[in-house]
């Protein structure tokens, strides 16, 4: 529901930021290490956020770019992989490299990263490889957004992924990919 | 609780909009296809919203006009019809036509729309026809608002619907319809 | 948590108001009938609110003055009396009269009001009479606030009520009443 | 999630404050007695807050400085010690003295404070003494923030505490302490 926060960084303690918005409400945002290093106390920032509501309470996670947030959301869908571990993985390697390692099923490489056991690396590759290497889609974000849009329109994920794989051509924008996929699905 | 959001469209991915409000908080809003086509990235927008809190998390649904929101709320009351299917139905036909099809119990027509099986069409007609064709009320919104007001004042839905049906006369405004219905109910 | 909303009344449908705040977020607020009659569409308003979180979802109730809100909170503490019935009771009689009827245990009078059966009237009187007539405290709001403050500081309600009853003198302000009661409690 | 609120104090009833933010939303904030005495009705204030979501509803607790908030969070982690008792303890003694009493395991002294039985004092000392006297860390806040940052990066609390204890040197800032601890942990 809360997809982003822009405001002034009141305080930085490790990777937890306090960001004051114009209304006077200060949000506590848990980030990956690079994101927190990129912002300065007293400076303005805009973070792509994810609002997590669970038994442990309400936590707002924040990222300096959308790709890291998308990767965080994908990692937290992996079984027995919670937000803290996802954050640790993203803190120890840049997003592009991680996506490439997962797409190329590089279990070895992944398990060398702090916070990823061999078992966790295998689960990540097994559960996410389709998503990342599917149709050799260069831009994982466009793939992700189109899939999410089709699913939120009620199409089962499997059909949506099939359609995106069939109609994708290099250079397509998200809106074009969705339109082509909808046409493909309506003729099924 | 959150019945509307006005702000700047930061980003459009399919039918998911990121809208930045004046306080700096960016809301993720899931819309029907026409609504998302009506707004432009970078432009200002006002959406009629519904805040859904469920096991799957907190989602904000948004519509460019109130009638679509009212229809969405009615559809989601139909058994085994969730927000995604309701959104898909509203994305594939305009609200007035859908209301007329339901009021005239046009199961055939409804089941031709993408996302509506014969069974679903029958359930929609069976559970919503009273609401839509009741007393031949032209303006479904006035009917809906008056009913909602009476129920929120503690009157059982059945009594409230009976009262509205008895006192409704063409051209009435919501406030007049509620006053007449309250008089009717207090003399029962 | 949200104790008040100030903003512009976008829309009035019966006793449900849509109020737009400066941040661009529009809140749906369910009010008693007088409160909704006191505000004008397009005009500014300030409402004393209560945020109710339950199985049915998140609802914001609003009142034009604090005494009505306090009475609403007291009524909803009565067993088997929910927010809708409380709202209906408050919509049909002014707060001062209701408080006097409860304090003087006027079951007869209460049960004549729309929405209050004999049984409900008896429960209201039985469960609230202490609170209202206790120590003949003229200003129920001061009594309520002092009690609430002491309880939120960890004192059991029974001890807190006893202390307030002992130390109350006509004309006292809330802060004075709390100070005297704290002294009384620390010497026990 | 909501770590701070700045706005105008609309009203003070005992230790419950109504603070109006720039967006027009008024927050109800439950404070310790000193905090509520430090603010003036009609004046501006900034409070360090903690958003508690539980069966009893959603409550926002507020403190005039961060150390009191940190102490409140530590106390509420003690078994069978809820927010009301924690608030009462903090209302009856200043934070530095309380920390020193806990660090020096002064059960006697603690149990003389209103709201703390002998049993509660023993539980507080037993469950918090490590945290407070650990490594003779002068500044409990730096210790707390570093620990929290490491835990939120996925390190088990026991390892994180061990690392902070090993690398802490007087005068270190939070960011330096975290960096050293991360180095220590990556060489384990």
Rg, Å, chain C Cα set? 18
The alpha-carbon gap from C58 to the nearest alpha carbon of chain A, in Å, equals 15
What's B176's domain CATH number?
A: 1.10.8.10
pLDDT, residue B152, reads: 87
The pLDDT tens digits of the residues spanning C12-29 come to 988 999 999 999 999 999
Rounded Cα distance between A173 and A176, Å, is 5
Share the mean pLDDT of chain C.
88
Secondary structure of chain A in the HEC alphabet? CEEEEEEEEEEEECCEEEEECCCCEEEEEEECHHHHHHCCCCCEEEEEEEEEEECCEEEEEEECCHHHHHHHHHHHCCCCCCHHHHHHHHHHCCHHHHHHHHHCCCHHHHHCCCCCCHHHHHHHHHHHHHHHHHHHCCCHHHHHHHHHHHHHCCCCHHHHHHHHHHHCCCCCCHHHHHHHHHHHHHCC
Domain boundary, last residue among C16, C33, C61:
C61
Instruction: Identify the pLDDT of residue C71.
Output: 94
Q: Give residue A135's pLDDT.
A: 38
| Position with higher pLDDT, B60 vs A98 | B60
Residue B156: name the closest of B133, B176, B181, B173 by CA. B181
Q: What is the pLDDT of residue A174?
A: 86
Average pLDDT over residues D62-91: 93
Q: Sign of the C-alpha dihedral, residues B131, C92, C80, C68?
A: positive
Element (H, E) at B142: helix B140-152
Q: In chain A, what residues touch B31 (CB-CB under 8 Å)? A: none
pLDDT grade for B135, boundaries at 50, 70 and 90 = very low
Mean pLDDT of chain B: 88
- Cβ neighbours for B148, distance < 8 A, ≥ 6 positions apart: C13, C14, C16
C186 and D CB contact within 8 Å: yes
Query: How far apart (Å, rounded) are the C-alpha atoms in residues A56 and A62?
Result: 18
Between residues C161 and C83, the one the model is more confident about: C83
Q: How far is B56 from chain A (nearest CA, A)?
A: 10
Q: Does A23 touch chain C (CB under 8 A)?
A: yes
Q: Is residue D11 scored above 80 in pLDDT?
A: yes
Lowest mean pLDDT among A67-71, A140-144, B129-133, C86-90: A140-144
- Claim to verify: residue B48 and residue B83 sit in the same structural domain: no
Q: Collect all residues of chain D within an 8 Å Cβ-Cβ radius of residue B22.
A: 23
Residues 6+ apart with CB under 8 A from C96: C67
Compute the average pLDDT of residues A116-124. 94
Question: pLDDT digit string (tens) for C71-113?
Answer: 999 999 999 999 989 999 999 888 878 887 888 788 888 898 8
Model pLDDT for residues B52-93, shown as the tens digit of each residue: 988 778 899 999 999 899 999 999 999 999 998 999 999 988
Find, among A69, A49, A38, the residue nearest to A6 by Cα: A49
Nearest CA to CA, how far is C87 from chain A (Å)?
30
User: Comparing D43 with C103, which gets the higher pLDDT?
Assistant: D43
Going by pLDDT thresholds of 50, 70 and 90, the confidence category of residue B167 is confident
Q: Which pLDDT belongs to residue C139?
A: 64
Q: Are B146 and B161 in contact (CB under 8 A)?
A: no
Best of B25, B27, B84 to mutate (most A CBs within 10 Å, chain A)? B25
For position A18, which CATH number holds?
2.40.50.140
Mean pLDDT, range A18-33, rounded to an integer: 96
pLDDT band at D140 (very low <50, low <70, confident <90, very high): low
List the chains bordering chain C where 3 or more Cβ pairs fall under 8 Å: A, B, D
Query: CA A130 to CA B89: how far, in whole Å?
Result: 30
Of the pLDDT bands very low, low, confident and very high (cuts 50, 70, 90), residue D72 is very high
Residue C135: pLDDT band (50, 70, 90) is: very low
For residue A22, give the chain D residue with the closest CA: D22
CA-CA distance, B90 to B84, in Å (whole number)? 10
The reply to whether D26 and D57 lie within a common domain is yes
The CA R_g of chain D, rounded to the nearest whole Å, is: 18
Q: Do C54 and C77 have their domain in common? A: no
The count of other CB atoms within 10 Å of the CB of residue D77 is 11
Indicate the number of domains in chain A: 3
Q: How many CA atoms lie within 13 A of A21 on its CB side?
A: 26
Q: Which residues of B touch C33 (CB under 8 A)?
A: 153
Tell me how far apart the alpha carbons of residues D57 and B110 are, in angstroms, rounded to a whole number.
Answer: 43
Whether pLDDT at A138 is above 70: no
Query: Which has more confidence, B93 or A35?
Result: A35
Residues B45 and B85 in one domain: no
> Distance, in angstroms, between A55 CA and closest chain B CA?
11
Q: Select the more confidently predicted residue: C146 or B60.
A: B60
Contact residues on chain A for C22, CB-CB shorter than 8 A? 23
**For residue B133, is pLDDT > 70?**
no
Say yes or no to pLDDT of A40 above 70: yes
* pLDDT mean over A119-143: 77
Tokens of C144: 């309520």
* Same domain as C123, residue C72: yes
In chain D, what percentage of residues exceed pLDDT 90? 51
Among residues D92, D107, D131, the one where a domain terminates is D131
CA angle at residue C179 from D13 to D121, to 5 degrees? 95
Do B153 and B180 share a structural domain?
yes
Strands B57-63 and B25-31: parallel
In angstroms, rounded to a whole number, what is the distance separating the alpha carbons of residues B24 and D16?
A: 28
Compute the C-alpha angle B180/B183/B184, nearest 5°: 85
CATH number, position C102: 1.10.150.20
Distance CA A35, CA A48 (A): 10
pLDDT at res. A115: 79
B114, B131, B148: which is the final residue of a domain? B131
Q: Is C51 exposed, middle or buried (0-12, 13-18, 19+ CB in 10 A)?
A: middle
State what percent of residues in chain A have pLDDT above 70: 95
Whole-model pTM: value is 0.75
Average pLDDT for D124-139: 73
For residue D39, pLDDT beyond 60: yes
Strands of D21-178, DSSP E: 25-31, 44-54, 57-63
Interface membership of D43 toward C (CB under 8 Å): no
Residue C153 pLDDT > 50, yes or no? yes
From chain D, the residues in CB contact with C7 under 8 A are 24
- Host domain of residue A109: 65-131
Question: Does B139 score more than 90 pLDDT?
Answer: no
What SS3 class is residue B161? helix
**What is the average pLDDT across C136-149?**
72
Q: Give the highest mean pLDDT range of A44-53, B172-181, C144-153.
A: A44-53
Above pLDDT 70, what percent of chain C? 95
A146 and A172 co-located in one domain: yes
CB of B21 within 8 Å of a chain C CB? The answer is yes
Strand pairing report for B16-20 and B57-63: unpaired
Residues D56 and D92 in one domain: no
Question: Between residues A152 and C36, which one has the greater pLDDT?
Answer: C36
* Helices and strands (DSSP H and E) totals, chain B: 9, 5
Question: How much of chain B exceeds pLDDT 90, in percent?
Answer: 51
Q: Which of D10, D15, D25 sits opposite C152 (nearest CB)?
A: D15
Contact C13 B53 (CB under 8 A): no
- Rounded to the nearest 5 degrees, what angle is found at the Cα of B22, between the Cα atoms of B16 and B24? 70
Q: Smallest CA–CA separation between A104 and chain C, in Å? A: 45
| pLDDT at position D104 | 77
CA distances from B186 to A70, B159, B180, C85, C109 (A): 57, 11, 10, 15, 17
Q: Does residue A25 share a domain with residue A54?
A: yes
Q: Are strands C57-63 and C25-31 parallel, antiparallel or unpaired?
A: parallel
Residue C118: pLDDT over 90: yes
Residue D175 burial by CB count (10 A; 0-12/13-18/19+): exposed, middle or buried? middle
Best of C2, C67, C152 to substitute, by most chain D Cβ atoms within 10 angstroms, is: C152
Task: Write down which chains contact chain A via at least 3 CB pairs under 8 A.
Answer: B, C, D
Chain D, window 46-85: residues with a beta carbon less than 8 angstroms from a chain A beta carbon:
49, 51, 53
Q: Do B81 and B123 belong to one domain?
A: yes
Confidence band of C152 (pLDDT split at 50, 70, 90) = confident
Mutation for testing the D interface, residue in A1, A2, A11, A13 having most D CBs under 10 Å: A13
Rounded mean pLDDT of A137-160? 79
Query: CA-to-CA distance for B178 and B173, rounded, in angstroms?
Result: 9
Show the DSSP H helices in chain C as ranges. Answer: 33-38, 66-77, 83-92, 95-103, 107-111, 118-133, 140-152, 157-167, 174-186
Residues D70 and D114 in one domain: yes
Is this complex scored with an ipTM above 0.85? no
Q: Is the pLDDT of residue C134 over 70?
A: no
Which has the minimum average pLDDT: B128-137, C143-152, D177-186? B128-137
For residue A22, list chain C residues with Cβ-Cβ distance below 8 A: 23
D6 and D43 housed in the same domain:
yes
Q: What is the pLDDT of residue D135?
A: 38
Residue B172, token pair as written in the block: 């009435």
Q: How far is D22 from chain B (nearest CA, A)?
A: 9
Give the pair of three-digit tokens for residue D3. Answer: 């770590």
């Amino acid at each position: 529901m809360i997809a982003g926060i822009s405001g002034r960084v009141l305080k930085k303690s490790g990777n937890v930021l306090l960001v004051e918005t114009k209304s006077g409400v200060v949000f506590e945002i848990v980030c990956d290490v690079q994101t927190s290093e990129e912002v300065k106390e007293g400076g303005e920032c805009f973070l792509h956020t994810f609002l997590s509501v669970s038994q442990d309470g309400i936590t707002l996670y924040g990222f300096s770019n959308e790709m890291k947030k998308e990767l965080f959301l994908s990692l937290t869908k992996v079984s027995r992989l919670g937000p803290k571990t996802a954050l640790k993985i993203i803190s120890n390697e840049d997003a592009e490299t991680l996506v490439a390692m997962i797409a190329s099923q590089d279990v070895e490489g992944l398990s060398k990263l702090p916070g990823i056991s061999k078992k966790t690396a295998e689960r990540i590759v097994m559960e996410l490889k389709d998503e990342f290497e599917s149709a050799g889609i260069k831009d994982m974000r466009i793939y992700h957004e189109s899939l999410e849009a089709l699913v939120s329109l009620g199409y089962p994920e499997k059909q949506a992924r099939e359609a995106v794989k069939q109609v994708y051509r290099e250079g397509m924008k998200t809106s074009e990919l969705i339109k082509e996929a909808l046409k493909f699905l309506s003729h099924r």
